[in-house]
Amino acid sequence: MHRHSACRALASLALIALLPVMAACFHSIVDTGLTPGAVGYHGKWETAWLVGLIPAEVDAEAVCEGPWARVETQQSFLNGLVSILTIGIYSPHEVEVVCAAPAAGGDSDGG
């Protein structure tokens, strides 16, 4: 009997030790190469499902009302913890959309 309770305690300790690893942070950046301007949107709890297989959706072009420079998606520690608690069914992400800077120059006469 004593051996089984020691094994259970060790297994429980291993699971507790792995919790921070299981809540690992996820980070990706999509960069268009355009000059970055102002941040158009920053959402800390965008809904994603099934461990991110069904990703969070933000329409960057609609947010910026035109071209965008960068979309950054990450899963913070708290987002990952929520994902673990829901067994990965609900997997929130943090999303930031950076709009492209306005084109320099504007209207000019060729002289």
The band of 27, judged by pLDDT with boundaries at 50, 70 and 90, is: confident
In-domain check, residue 14: no
In-domain check, residue 39: yes
In-domain check, residue 2: no
Task: Report which of 80, 72, 82, 74 is spatially closest to residue 41, judged by C-alpha positions.
Answer: 72
In-domain check, residue 108: no
pLDDT by residue (tens digit) across 65-95?
Answer: 999 999 999 988 899 899 999 988 999 999 9
In-domain check, residue 18: no
What value does the mean pLDDT take over residues 23-37?
83
In-domain check, residue 109: no
In-domain check, residue 106: no
The pLDDT > 70 percentage for the chain reads: 79
- Host domain of residue 28: 23-100
Task: Give me the number of domains the chain comprises.
Answer: 1
What is the helix, strand, coil percentage profile of the chain, to 5? Answer: 30, 30, 35
Task: Report which of 83, 72, 94, 89 is spatially closest to residue 23, judged by C-alpha positions.
Answer: 83
The predicted model scores a pTM of 0.68
Element (H, E) at 38: strand 36-46
In-domain check, residue 15: no
